[in-house]
Amino acid sequence: MSVTVRFAPSPTGFLHIGGARTALFNYLYARHFGGTFRLRIEDTDRARSTKEAVTAILDGLAWLGLDHDGEIVMQSERAPRHAEVARQLLAAGRAYYCYCSPEELAAMRAKQKAEGRSMRYDGTWRDRDPGEAPKDVPPVIRLKAPQSGETIIHDHVQGEVTVANAQLDDLIILRADGTPTYNLSVVVDDHDMGITHVIRGDDHLNNAFRQTQIYRALEWHVPEFAHVPLIHDASGAKMSKRRGTVAVDAYREMGYLPEALRNYLVRLGWSHGDDEIISTEDAIRWFDIKDVGRAAARFDPAKLDNVNAHYIREADDARLLALVAERLEAQLGRTLSEVERERLFKAMPGLKPRAKTIVELADKAWFYVAPRPIQPTPDAAKLLKPEARHLLGELAAYLNEAEWQAGALEQRLRDFADSKNVKFGAVAQPLRAALTGSTASPGIFEVMEALGQDESLGRITDAAGGAG
């Protein structure tokens, strides 16, 4: 059997990090088996669904590199088909009209609550003569669910899960206004899309029993289920907007690479031995939904940082330059010059091992494009005392004829320190402060090479000129 899976988010907000992992698991499962990965937007909640949320979901999936197959299915556009299936069940005697008014249903629940029973529809109209129907109450259509026996789900993650049918009432499948309910819509869409495996969060496990009963009433093939545990934060609570960062686009803004986030998310609940760094290609080769654990996964931002740092170190310098330049240009309020871009490109091999995010990388690259005169940090300013500035003034002249290459510059600086009978650090430390405005940076000679001779000498002269 060929595999067809789907990711079916509701467009009521951003793409949640848990939803992104669900999409990733579906994507990997489909690609592993050479199957199909479909996308369905479950936009039947018209009051809460927005075009902006649809755009955010599509952008998030595209950024993560989770390309779907075929056309996007908009669930709201299929409402007539859902209603048609409800009427098919009605005609087959597997569903019925229920004329209970809201007041009757409220009274039913109150009575059950007072008697200590679970609150559920009691089947008032299940076998009642429709001729007794009141004329002024528009009916709903309810599924005639089995009342005895069990509904069993053989779940790829949760194992065998069973519910007694007596615990499930006759759910509404078509409302009085003719609109379908969620469980019916999902079943019809999954059937019509040819979905073979439903991989989703375990908060949908209860829905699986309802949906299985609808499948069986329609005599349709029931897909295989895999209900994945939710993601918890470091404290063990379900990740939520109130308790931390959960939107995929926020991680993009914070400077995470999509391949790093994919790598980290696939390790939340699934593993391949002790491997922490797993390329998407390897994940496709190795991933199987049956290997996902039942326990909730803990989201650890520090681990994500470490994974992201790895992918930054491995990333192409030109790609990193583009990502960093975008942020630096926003900070500068102007476009970087070609000279500045070349400077950053030369500097990238020394910068990227020192950063865990693109934001951090841009911060560390800032001094390469910062406007002169460079403003030192308080610690760096302490290194620029009058005697140090005097040395820098003499150094600028000494370096004027130097070969501008890291190795040659280091030798030149050592010769200068010897000629002045001072320690190497007495020159190198103020030089770093003059060039970068900081006490920490990549190697000072690779900085000088990347800055170029004119810019380096200009910065040294600026710092030397501040002598009091």
- Please write the tens of the pLDDT for every residue from 370-402: 999 999 999 999 999 999 999 999 999 999 989
- Provide mean pLDDT across the span 44-64: 91
**What pLDDT was estimated at residue 468?**
31
Q: Which of 241, 290, 303, 356 is catalytic?
A: 241
Measured in Å, how far apart are the chain's first and last C-alpha atoms?
82
pLDDT at residue 244 tops 70: no
**Strand 36-41 relative to strand 4-7, pairing:** parallel
Residues 6+ apart with CB under 8 A from 129: none
Alpha helices in 33-129 (DSSP H): 51-64, 79-91, 102-114
Helix-strand-coil percent breakdown of the chain, rounded to 5?
A: 55, 10, 35
Q: How confident is the model at residue 48 (pLDDT cuts 50, 70, 90)?
A: confident
Average pLDDT, the chain: 93
Strand partners, 37: 5
Lowest model confidence (mean pLDDT) among 272-281, 419-428, 459-468: 459-468
Integer angstrom CA distances of residue 383 from 267, 284, 375, 460: 46, 53, 13, 13
Q: Which of 131-145, 295-309, 316-330 has the lowest mean pLDDT?
A: 131-145
CA 96 to chain CA mean position, Å: 43
C-alpha to C-alpha distances, 396 to 134, 169, 213, 393, nearest whole angstrom: 98, 86, 83, 5
Token pair, residue 102, equals 């809201």
Among the listed residues 174, 316, 176, 330, the one whose alpha carbon sits nearest the alpha carbon of residue 257: 316
Give whole-number Cα distances, 243 to 10, 233, 237, 357, in Å: 21, 8, 9, 22
The answer to whether the CB of 227 falls within 8 A of the CB of 157 is: yes
In the numeric block, which tokens belong to residue 72?
């996007």
Question: Is residue 358 classed exposed, middle or buried when 0-12, 13-18 and 19+ CB atoms within 10 A define those classes?
Answer: buried
| Gap between the Cα atoms of 183 and 171, Å rounded | 9
* Residue 134 preceded by cis peptide, ω within 30: no
Q: Is the pLDDT of residue 24 over 50?
A: yes
The answer to whether residue 241 is catalytic is yes
Is the CB of residue 163 less than 8 Å from the CB of residue 191? no
Q: What is the pLDDT of residues 259-278, one digit of tens each?
A: 999 999 999 999 999 999 99
Query: What average pLDDT score do residues 198-227 get?
Result: 97
Predicted pLDDT at 241: 58
Residues 95 and 170: their CA atoms lie apart, in Å, by: 9
- Quote the pLDDT of residue 243: 56
Between 12-16, 234-238, 281-285, 324-328, the lowest mean confidence (pLDDT) is in: 234-238
The H or E element spanning position 128 is none
Q: How many residues does the chain have?
A: 468
At residue 82, the pLDDT reads 98
pLDDT band at 7, cuts 50/70/90? very high
Q: Name 16's Cβ contacts closer than 8 Å, sequence gap at least 6.
A: 239, 246, 247, 248
Q: pLDDT band at 237, cuts 50/70/90?
A: confident
**CA distances in angstroms from 328 to 94, 333, 344, 350, 435, listed in the order given:** 64, 8, 11, 18, 18
